[in-house]
Structure 1
Amino acid sequence: MYRDHTKVVQIGNRKIGGGNPVLIQSMTNTKTEDVEATVRQILELEAAGCEIIRCAVPTMEAAEALREIKKQIHIPLVADIHFDYRLAIAAMENGADKIRINPGNIGSRDRIQAVVDVAKERNIPIRVGVNSGSLEKELVEKYHGVTAEGLVESALDKVHIIEEMGYDNLVISIKSSDVMMCARAHELIAQKTDHPLHVGITEAGTLYSGNIKSAVGLGIILYQGIGDTIRVSLTGAPLEEIKSAKRILKTLGLRKGGIEVVSCPTCGRTRIDLIGLANKVEAMVQDIPLDIKVAVMGCVVNGPGEAKEADIGIAGGVGVGLLIKKGEIVKKVPEEELLDTLRDELLHWEA
């Protein structure tokens, strides 16, 4: 597993790499200059399971706001910098636990050196980010288009610049909205570096398409033991990114905790609003801290048998609902009481 071979990097009070658990990241969509709104969103994300948060730093005011934001949150804060090296320095001086830069757009070597010097002095990790949308023209020509090989070469070139400056406290991210190119690029770079990797399918899209692309892409990459932090990039509320990331990690067996809801597809035997019921169950269990499987079945004929692999389940009939444990019917209740009965069982769960 590549993850065991990467170097350990300390980001605030968390460690990544070296076989440490894959951590979930997101990014605020508030104006960073608005401390109150940014803190409010970060606290919501923390509660949902976000473990590292990134904030855009487009202005000096935003860089200075980090100091106050840091005082009010509990997870590591990453400053996202483009173009202006002075903002990277100011972000570190104001308490950023890590900075994200693309050395290609920071400017001259002297400017990169100035950023590296401050990072080295404060032992702040630098995430070197390369995006398929901004691949250098010479690499596009060399590889006859935007390719995984070009992405990897670009990223390693940037890493070598910083390593030559005597600093190797680095994290690498190579992102593309092309899922298979992204997967291939990660397979290649994992063989060429021991720096931890931040993984995500960039510009993945809306909740629907973005979730599918992210699940496929992250699934391929993480299954190979590649990746130390992840972000599900969605055009939607950041909270949705956390929910999706947790589900992806749990599905791959990389994360314990949280109730997994399984439900059957609808069929001609279904006599209840199974779609509505399954969605209500999924929403209801979000705040219940159990590591179990809950089945939601649409008929009393096959429901008990199909639910036997779940720890607990419910099945609906005409006016009546069944409560099932390990495939055995333990209780019959009126259909309208089914959801409350399940919740009560979960709240008083004994393993």
Structure 2
Amino acid sequence: MSRQIFCGGLAIGGGAPVSIQSMTNTDTRNISATVDQIMKLEEAGCNIVRCAIPDMEAAEAFGEIKRKVKLPLVADIHFDYRLAVAAIGNGADKVRINPGNIGSRDRVKAVIDAAKERKIPIRIGVNSGSLEKDILEKYGGVTPEGLAESALRSIQYVEELDFFDIVVSLKSSDVRFNNQAHHIIRDKMDYPLHIGITESGTVESGKAKSAIGIGALLLAGIGDTIRVSLTGDPVNEVYFAKEILKALDLKSSVINLVSCPTCGRCGVDLAKIAAEVEAAIKPMETEMARKKQPSITVAVMGCEVNGPGEAREADLGVACGKGKGILFKKGKVIKTVNEDEIAKELILYINQEHILV
């Protein structure tokens, strides 16, 4: 088990639940747009948000943003140590740096000293696209061994400055490389790991890479925070990260939707029914999480083969026949309803039993 650190009031590592991170893609200097996006990320279920700090104006805006939002905010810094120091002074709950591109030891020490004073952690981030030249030469290019060595080198560099409040990330866009690098490093240090597949792609192609890459690591017990990196609206990253955690039973207060793929026996438009239920679930989960309610399973099944069994096993479920559906609650039949009422009735029962209590 990794050691535990805190980002704002959120525990990372040490047995704490896996948290979901995302990153704003607004111009941080545009305070209102960035605050608006952070609010949407929070509503979607994000736990930690990172903002890019490309210049001093952005570092100053970061302070205003921090005062307007509730979620822990991470300042993402590259190259200029003064931006990190300014962001820390403006209320950052954590800073993300790559010590290798910050510069001299004195500059890294200035960032460390500021973090010590504010008692906030530092995330050491290493990516396959920014490995040190000597490591690339040693391994003949980007390799899992090189990624791990770069991260361990940065960790040692920071430890020598008597700083240990660290989160580590090492990411590649290659799923196999990414997996192998994490397996190498996990036995060599006990700091919490932030995991993901960097530059994984669009909403469509990136989901497959992220599900395999993040899921495989979590199943191996590796990872304390996750980010699904997708091109476009970062809210999509949060929704899909939640789906990954739900699939592995690592997310509390969720509604696990079970629905069959349908076949020639199906006598209703099950795709339409399942889509209506799924669309209603997202805001419900936010309210369940706020009230710290336990997760539930809802089954939407299309025929008499597996339908009744799956529906009985779920907290709430429906087994459909020709133009109708039998509703189940905790294994018992509630009622039979017409096809056009199935989704509405399921959503009503979810609200009554789990949301409005």
TM-score, reference length from structure 1: 0.93
Aligned length: 347
Is the CA contact 2:268–2:324 (under 8 Å) kept in the aligned structure 1? Answer: no
Q: Distance in 2 between matches of 1:86 and 1:53?
A: 21
Q: Distance in 1 between matches of 2:201 and 2:71?
A: 26
Q: Are 1:213 and 2:217 matched, yes or no?
A: no
Alignment of 1:255-266 (within 5 A): 255-266=251-262
User: Aligned-pair distance for 1:143?
Assistant: 1.8
User: Aligned-pair distance for 1:300?
Assistant: 4.4
SS at match of 1:10: strand
**Range with bigger deviation, 54-63 or 101-110:** 101-110
User: Aligned-pair distance for 1:209?
Assistant: 2.0
**Range with bigger deviation, 56-65 or 275-284:** 275-284
* Corresponding position of 1:317: 321
**Range with bigger deviation, 249-258 or 86-95:** 249-258
Seen in structure 2, the aligned counterparts of structure 1 residues 19 and 269 have a Cα distance that, compared at 3 Å, is same
User: Aligned-pair distance for 1:83?
Assistant: 1.4
Is the CA contact 1:13–1:76 (under 8 Å) kept in the aligned structure 2? Answer: yes
Alignment of 1:1-351 (within 5 A): 4=1, 6-288=2-284, 289=288, 291-300=295-304, 302-326=306-330, 328-349=332-353
CA RMSD in angstroms, aligned pairs only: 1.8
**Residues 282-303 of structure 1 deviation map (CA, whole Å, 9 limit, x = unaligned):** 1112223362111111224542
User: Aligned-pair distance for 1:328?
Assistant: 5.0
Q: Distance in 1 between matches of 2:159 and 2:320?
A: 62
**Structure 2 gap segments, 5+ residues each:** 289-293
User: Aligned-pair distance for 1:79?
Assistant: 0.2
**Range with bigger deviation, 306-315 or 128-137:** 306-315
Is the CA contact 1:11–1:76 (under 8 Å) kept in the aligned structure 2? Answer: yes
Letter in 2 for 1:256: S
User: Aligned-pair distance for 1:217?
Assistant: 1.2
**Residues 182-239 of structure 1 deviation map (CA, whole Å, 9 limit, x = unaligned):** 1111111110112111111111112222122111111111122221111111113211
SS at match of 2:6: strand
Is the CA contact 2:274–2:343 (under 8 Å) kept in the aligned structure 1? Answer: no
Q: Distance in 2 between matches of 1:260 and 1:151?
A: 36
Q: Quick one: percent identity of the two aligned structures?
A: 58
User: Aligned-pair distance for 1:330?
Assistant: 3.1
Q: Distance in 1 between matches of 2:75 and 2:235?
A: 19
User: Aligned-pair distance for 1:56?
Assistant: 0.6
**Structure 1 gap segments, 5+ residues each:** none
SS at match of 1:348: helix
Seen in structure 2, the aligned counterparts of structure 1 residues 306 and 175 have a Cα distance that, compared at 3 Å, is same
User: Aligned-pair distance for 1:327?
Assistant: 5.4
TM-score, reference length from structure 2: 0.92
User: Aligned-pair distance for 1:138?
Assistant: 2.1
SS at match of 2:300: strand
Q: Distance in 2 between matches of 1:340 and 1:130?
A: 48
